[in-house]
Structure 1
Amino acid sequence: MSVDGWNTVLVLGGIRSGKSEFAESLVGDAPVVRYVATSPEGDPQDTEWAARLAAHRARRPGSWTTEETASDPRRLADVLAAAEPNETLLVDDLGGWVAVLLDPAHQPSDDTGTIAELAEAIRHCTARVVLVSPEVGLSLVPTTPVGRAFTDALGATNRAVADACDGVVLVIAGQPTWLKGATVRPAGAAAGAETPRVAGANGAAVAPMPDLVDLSDVANPTPPPPMPPTENGTAWSTPTMALPMVSTGLVIQPGMELPMPDEYAGPQAIERLATLDVPGAGLGVLTQLVGFAAATQGTPTPAAWTSVRVLLINGDHAGGASAGNRPGESARRAGQARAGRGALARLAAEAGAGLQVVDAPSAAAMEDEPALTGEQVESALRYGWQLAEQAAEAGVQLLVLAASGAGTEAAAAAVLAATAGAEPAAVLGRVVTDTGEIDDAAWMRRCAAVRDAMHRSRLSSRAAKDVLAELGGGDLAIATGVLLGATARRIPVMLDGPVGLAAGLVSRDLAGQARHWCLLADHGGDPAVKLAADVLGLTPLLDLRLGLGEGANALVALPMLRSVLALAAALPTHPSLTAGDEADEDVEEAEPEFAEPEPAGPGPTSTEPDEERVDPSGRAG
């Protein structure tokens, strides 16, 4: 069950750090898990220890089996050595194993030799193994000989096992930090060093996290470490507080409660526009841009986006969907973008935006079989979410979705047909060759591919993930994850092209809030974009109809949109709306303030105490 050398992982952590729960999440995708328990039952009178063991047992699914090795610490190495390649083992934990190893009942023994024996068994184990162990290196040196012997033995065990394992992760307060393996770049490695890659549907490699092409003065952040792959090519999950959690893994599912834009800031910003000192009627259709920016920024005076990132998703579709596309053309375009060349890269440079090229798993011919497996869809969704989180951590204020794969138009048409009831032929645009000619034969092959795919999957569920698996493909799944992750991190996304709009339809069925964070710069004359925009309630700001590829319209419009936002934020209020207030202030200054006259003598308004008076009769007053 090893992929690219990954089959053994050591999970370290302190007491109650969440290390066991994280280890369990790593093997949660395995149909059957053999749980190897190393700790003895303990004192029957110790109810607290019994409760801990019971809690561990309660978390294990019914499909797991349990094997005890507490009777003989040497037996753990035998269990690992005898494990088959198709097995998954979870060993919890090595602290209990060391306690048994040091028990006087097992002495005298060669403890060092037993630890080395265990490490050697791990190193040659063909099964998928996750081991849990307490990290004792951060605690105080025990004051008793027994305590010092335990920490010394456990420290030696952790070092030997960590050296033998392919990956090591430290869990602190429930948050995992990878210390060894494909999730981190080794110290001293070159920036362009080769990193492990996740396999796509056809075996093509997909970079776990693409680098950002530096095209402007926008800061070029270091990509976060990628996630280690599992045996089925998907990525092991890392936790985030923005997602529902199962153990500590990401779960993207229908009905997620994600944030909405500010419902008051948008209308307030539009009302404010009516008070500005402009010579004409105002901003026209771009008024909605100011309202959108205000709602997503949570202020009636939104600022222009200064940090913008373009995500160019490159993923091909096999079969009739790619009819009319030259083989290898999309890869060439993606390579141009990575090198800072080509139309999209130059437009991004002119607009002062960063460009990140994202390789998606290639989709199978949808007319013959599902475009992706369910596991690949889950991995692509999480991958897209992670791209959005990476952008948020880098301070990106606006994401632009673009695509360059072959067959994306047909895949988007199939998704529209499945989610919005569209007629595929009505939403498939004309096929234009590299020489500018219309290829009607290729268009008909695309229509036939979508028709056959719809017929093949007619009995399949039309749930969001099933649509992505049957018809969508890797590029659409990653784009959907980007939209959901951006929504969770309150980042607006500018859509431009069929892939982004089709992803918007799918993301709507997973979290209805996602569409409210989407902005459509231009429909580009694409029938699929027009229909999807109508379903999502998105009104295009412009009508440029450029033919420079998906994302080009958005980048051409970006400088103008920035100018409008900057203008709306900087213009003062019209003088006619402030003149009346200034006149009222002048009147108030001209009128003398009322002052109560001082009394002529002592009276009710006097605040001074009266001196003792003597009346004519001689009596005190």
Structure 2
Amino acid sequence: MSGIDVDEFGSLVERPEAGVRRDSQERWARLVAPAGALGRPAELADWLAAVQGVVPVRPITRPRVLVFAGDHGVAALDVSVRPAGSAVELARAVLDGTAPVAVLARQYGATVRLVDLALDCDEAELPADVTAHRVRRGSGRLDIEDALSAEEAEQAFRTGMALADEEADSGTDLVLLGDLSVGGTTVAGVLIAALCGTDASVVTGRGSGIDDLTWMRKCAAIRDGLRRARPVLGDQLALLAAVGGADFAAITGFLLQAAVRKLPVVLDGVVSAACGLVAQRIAFRAPDWWLAGHVSGEPGQAKALDRISLEPLLDFSLHTGSAVGALMALPLLQAAAALSAELPDPKAAAEADAGPGSEPDPAPAV
């Protein structure tokens, strides 16, 4: 189907530095007593040490919020509180600084980058740098047709890879990954149910706050999407073309190339978890470079994160997208990095006091 050999990611993605992680763990034993006193922050510092390849951890100084945006044809089935094709309104709020993610990014010192992959609006309605990577306008209705053509799926996947390279080359040291769409949780439900071998009802959540009747429509749409997904489960790009969307294909490409580039990523909600599940099928080591920011309340997210062995950092009952949950985890990661970098190390202090080339004091005469 594609000119991309996704199997190459299996060999290109390496694991984070296990030896460095052990050095970090041993260092905590000297820094803090009793053992394990700093709990999860110390574990996060060990992860940061492994992905950075250095002990003590370097401070997180250039965090980037990266939000992938797109509309989905399945929204025409009234599976969301928001009307189909209205994600552009959410995008404008991010751009004008009034969206929750923009407020928190200012508070935490992160920059926000919004990327339009498939918003259902005229390109002239948004800045050129936002629409520069658009693959198409909206997507096909996954219950009756492919969301993307094979060529569009490849283009979106390559766009995600290119964005990972751009962020790594620009000095970004942590990505807070988000999505912005209408119909996206339905798409995520199809992918997760297909890859986990579960029924639609198991992964159908309340998304934007839907009522029971809307939930039933959403569940039916996921069930119909599953019928179209199962025949292409062995080909991840074909799967993304059949029942995904340009934003999903781009996020998947981004996650894989970020792992290749050793760029750590914090996932947000069910959409990034679904893309992570697809990416894991391509390169099983890739999840070692990711963290799960929070519990979104979507049953599909819990299913996907369990499959890729990621435990969410926070449970604040957040039910919004756009990387808000991932961004809420940033202060915890910054605290972990600061503790690793700034707590005094008795061993290092003793070596500094001894000076280069110094000999140990002779044993006292008996």
Counterpart mapping for 1:590-601 below 5 A: 591=364
The gaps in structure 2 that reach 5 residues or longer are: 119-137
Distance 1:266 1:416 in 2: 31
Distance 1:334 1:376 in 2: 22
- 1:524 maps to a residue whose letter is S
Distance 1:473 1:521 in 2: 23
Distance 1:322 1:377 in 2: 25
Q: Which residue of 1 aligns with 2:50?
A: 295
Distance 1:336 1:468 in 2: 28
Distance 1:539 1:419, change over 3 A: same
Q: Which residue of 2 aligns with 1:349?
A: 106
* Matching of residue 336 in structure 1 with residue 93 in structure 2: yes
Q: Which residue of 1 aligns with 2:232?
A: 460
Q: Normalising to structure 1: TM-score of the pair?
A: 0.51
Distance 1:332 1:395 in 2: 31
Counterpart mapping for 1:463-478 below 5 A: 463-478=235-250
Distance 1:457 1:395 in 2: 38
Judge which range, 489-498 or 300-309, deviates more: 300-309
**Offset at 1:458?**
4.0
Distance 1:251 1:587, change over 3 A: closer
Say if 1:523 and 1:540, in contact at 8 Å, map to a contact too: yes
Say if 1:277 and 1:574, in contact at 8 Å, map to a contact too: no
Query: Which among 395, 398, 404 is matched to residue 171 of structure 2?
Result: 395
Distance 1:548 1:456 in 2: 28
Distance 1:568 1:456 in 2: 49
Say if 1:254 and 1:509, in contact at 8 Å, map to a contact too: no
- 1:478 maps to a residue whose letter is A
**Offset at 1:490?**
1.1
Distance 2:241 2:165 in 1: 24
Q: Which residue of 2 aligns with 1:184?
A: none
Runs of 4+ in 1 over 6 A off after TM superposition: none
Distance 1:514 1:526, change over 3 A: same
Identity of aligned residues (%): 35
Residue by residue over 1:441-473, the C-alpha shift from the partner in whole angstroms, topping out at 9 and shown as x without a partner, is 111111101111222444334321111011111
* Matching of residue 271 in structure 1 with residue 26 in structure 2: yes
Say if 1:397 and 1:491, in contact at 8 Å, map to a contact too: yes
* Matching of residue 254 in structure 1 with residue 7 in structure 2: yes
Residue by residue over 1:402-458, the C-alpha shift from the partner in whole angstroms, topping out at 9 and shown as x without a partner, is 01101111111110111121222112212444xxxx511111111101111222444
Say if 2:268 and 2:321, in contact at 8 Å, map to a contact too: no
User: Whose helix proportion is higher, 1 or 2?
Assistant: 2
Distance 1:381 1:354 in 2: 23
Structure with bigger RCO (C-alpha 8 Å, 6+ apart): 2
Aligned residue for 2:71, secondary structure, equals: coil
**Offset at 1:553?**
1.5
Q: Which residue of 2 aligns with 1:526?
A: 298
Q: Which residue of 2 aligns with 1:490?
A: 262
Q: Which residue of 1 aligns with 2:218?
A: 446
Say if 2:194 and 2:230, in contact at 8 Å, map to a contact too: no
Aligned residue for 2:176, secondary structure, equals: strand
Aligned residue for 2:313, secondary structure, equals: coil
Residue by residue over 1:539-576, the C-alpha shift from the partner in whole angstroms, topping out at 9 and shown as x without a partner, is 2222222233241122122122201211122112469x
Query: Which among 553, 575, 584 is matched to residue 325 of structure 2?
Result: 553
Backbone CA RMSD of aligned residues: 2.7
Q: Normalising to structure 2: TM-score of the pair?
A: 0.84
User: Which has the greater radius of gyration?
Assistant: 1
* Matching of residue 423 in structure 1 with residue 199 in structure 2: yes
**Offset at 1:476?**
0.8
Counterpart mapping for 1:229-244 below 5 A: none
Distance 1:443 1:252 in 2: 38
Counterpart mapping for 1:315-326 below 5 A: 315-320=70-75, 323-326=79-82
Say if 1:318 and 1:365, in contact at 8 Å, map to a contact too: yes
Say if 1:479 and 1:499, in contact at 8 Å, map to a contact too: no
Distance 1:387 1:586 in 2: 53
Residue by residue over 1:563-604, the C-alpha shift from the partner in whole angstroms, topping out at 9 and shown as x without a partner, is 1211122112469x97xx99xx99935737xxxxxxxxxxxx
Counterpart mapping for 1:33-52 below 5 A: none
Distance 2:149 2:359 in 1: 75
* Matching of residue 305 in structure 1 with residue 78 in structure 2: no
Q: Which residue of 2 aligns with 1:364?
A: 140
Q: Which residue of 2 aligns with 1:8?
A: none
Distance 1:457 1:550, change over 3 A: same
Aligned residue for 1:275, secondary structure, equals: helix
